[in-house]
Chains A and B, each alone.
Chain A
Amino acid sequence: MTVAAGIGYALVALGPSLSLFVSVISRKPFLILTVLSSTLLWLVSLIILSGLWRPFLPLKANVWWPYALLVVTSVCFQEGLRFLFWKVYKRLEDVLDSFADRISRPRLFLTDKLQIALDYSSQLHAAGGLGHGVAHAVFFCLSLLTPAFGPATFYVERCSKVPFFLISAIIGLAFVTIHTFSMVIAFEGYAKGNRVDQVIVPVIHLAAGMLTLVNFASEGCVIGVPLLYLVASLTLVHCGKMVWQRLLETRNQSSASG
């Protein structure tokens, strides 16, 4: 529509992550590096997926089951990569811990392995999830926004009430939330060995992917998008509960010890 509208759509999709970035992540350089590397990982996974699916594209317009297959394979692949990311992160944390132990500088005040885990791990996990979410929003939503800076707008037949850019930005926002917080949940689950947490993340991801298939029905986005937001808020609530519990735990711990 105009430059203002284009920027507006971009901010709808990326506004909360931008504020999260500016307030929390830009303070600590390591978090910025985490965001960049997780974005890169998501991009690589997307490229591999598109390489695998390239011979079968373009898919026929109105048949929905190839898309279902596409979503299922993609989600499985990305969840597998998330587990790999966890392994790499574990190793990096060990290296950091040993490094902190070796460098006993007064300026750092950090010899306690526990401190890294308690103070910063949720920030690190959130940064990783934010990287995934931002990559999703950029590739699925922002990269198609270039026409939105021009004088007109675009509607898809399946969702004819809302401009295409707006609906993709709204879906992008939901997915950013899901990605950011499910990373925190997943890594907590892997760290504590909590089966429920470990399993719930792929389930959420798959459910969200499947819900977007509802958009295939004519005017399906009226149902699909609110359900998607329901899933996103579930993720948020679960993650908030988990972090709150952890905070209470550490507060009890530190008051008991110090």
Chain B
Amino acid sequence: MDRNQRPRSLLDSLGEELIAILTPVSICMFTVVLLVCILNSDPSSSSASFSSIATAAYAESDSDSSWDKFVGAFLNSLVFVAAITVATFVLVLLFYLRCVKFLKFYMGFSAFIVLGNLGGEILVLLIDRFRFPIDCITFLILLVNFSVVGVFAVFMSKFSILITQGYLVWIGVLVAYFFTLLPEWTTWVLLVALALYDIAAVLLPVGPLRLLVEMAISRDEDIPALVYEARPVIRNDSRLVQRRVWRERRASQNDNNDIENTANRNEVGRVVRSIDVEEEHVGSSERAEISVPLIDRRPDQAENSETFLEGIGLGSSGAIKLGLGDFIFYSVLVGRAAMYDLMTVYACYLAIIAGLGITLMLLSVYQKALPALPVSIMLGVVFYFLARLLLEVFVAQCSSNLVMF
């Protein structure tokens, strides 16, 4: 057997899907860190305090004591989480009443507002920072065009997948950058509160996200929301047919299956993911032959495998979907770490990636909708504080004396 002729071996395809989702998350985080470093390095251009619903209860100022700041941040997060819960329940209600068109219109409208308004603000800040010569009318024309293309890319399914993914990442970057402008204590407490809310919303029986997902499954519909899909899918009628076949087979087999989870960008912080993995026939020892149609595989070829390695893409057929809220809050954490030092950025980045990997493995084990925020956010926060308190002193001591190991 000539080695040169051997096609892709096991190691070539291992973990491919995990990398396919890690790349956009990394790009989003990197862009936010870059924006934070560029736009915050100039102290004279400190933006006015970002007032939003997240600072409604308490506006942090430097002169307060730590306890005051903590209580204020806690109140802020409570208000924010309450607002998100209410909004999510409204979404569930609308979905229940089958106002899908209205929801789609609202999603498109909010994407346009984010791209136009927030994107415009960031671009103005960048133009100001780099002294880029451009006049208002050109800028406005370009911005409106960019936003409209973005709305189409996100909601029309006939666009090139690369452009759609790029626009989704860019929307995540914009929202994340504006969240990093929140005061410091509020940001950290808010992140932890959202991680806890996510667990509650997805795993509790009355959680709004769980209701949403169950309704979507029972009706066999898509939830209209902004979701990043890591694998290109054929956008034509055959896909719908194939999906129906898949769901029917699943329903007939009465299994515990992979659910489609989507997250609404606007209701940030809700994260639900899915992985379309091959199904397992519960209660039977032989492996079921199931076909999960995808673009580059012929049907009726897949074989089942129940090891944990499915989580890292060995299952061979999954398209991993990650809600845009995940992107946003990971980037908020890393952006906030960037405001302190680059060492914390790297530590938090590794922690978030590790958390994402763990969550994906849990997903393959439990085979149902799981929140993607908690593990990563908790690891990220822990690593941030460890790096800030312990690591920095140690490393600065050593390397300023040129002692390394």
Contact = CB atoms under 8 A, between A and B. Distances in A.
Contact of B401 (A30, A158, A208): A158
Interface stretch (A68-76, A82-90, A186-194, A237-245): A68-76
Contact of A254 (B3, B18, B386, B396): B3
B390 interface: yes
Nearest to B6: A109
A221 B399 CA distance: 13
Of the four ranges (under 10, 10 to 19, 20 to 34, 35 or more), the interface on chain A belongs to 35 or more
B398 interface: yes
Interface in A130-175: 136, 138-146, 156, 158-159, 164, 167-168, 171-172, 175
Interface string B3-21: 1001111111111101100
A221 B402 contact: yes
Contacts of A71: 403, 405
B403 A50 contact: no
B398 A215 contact: no
A47 B307 contact: no
Contact of B393 (A54, A140, A159): A54
Given A30-B14, A103-B303, A119-B9, A67 B401 contact: yes
A32 B15 contact: yes
Interface string A75-101: 100100000000000000001100110
B10 A59 contact: no
A12 to B, nearest CB: 15
Contacts of B9: 108-110, 115, 119-120
B51 interface: no
Contacts, number: 169
Contacts of B22: 32
Contacts of A43: 346-347, 350, 383
In terms of DSSP, what is the predominant structure of the interface of chain B? helix
A47 B313 CA distance: 30
Contacts of A116: 10-11
A159 B402 contact: yes
Given A105-B303, A108-B10, A47 B402 contact: no
A33 B405 contact: no
A49 interface: yes
A50 B394 contact: yes
A195 interface: no
Given A28-B12, A144-B396, A208 B343 contact: no
Contacts of A95: 307, 309
A143 B16 contact: no
A29 B19 contact: yes
A143 B392 CA distance: 9
B402 A212 contact: yes
Contact of A57 (B11, B393, B400): B393
A58 B397 contact: yes
Interface of B: 1, 3, 6-16, 18-19, 22, 303, 305, 307, 309, 312-314, 341-343, 346-347, 350, 353-354, 357, 383, 386-387, 389-391, 393-405
Closest 8 CB pairs of A and B: A50-B394, A143-B343, A209-B405, A215-B402, A29-B19, A30-B14, A29-B15, A50-B390
13 contacts: A28-B14, A36-B354, A47-B347, A49-B394, A50-B395, A54-B389, A78-B405, A96-B14, A99-B10, A99-B307, A110-B10, A139-B343, A172-B404
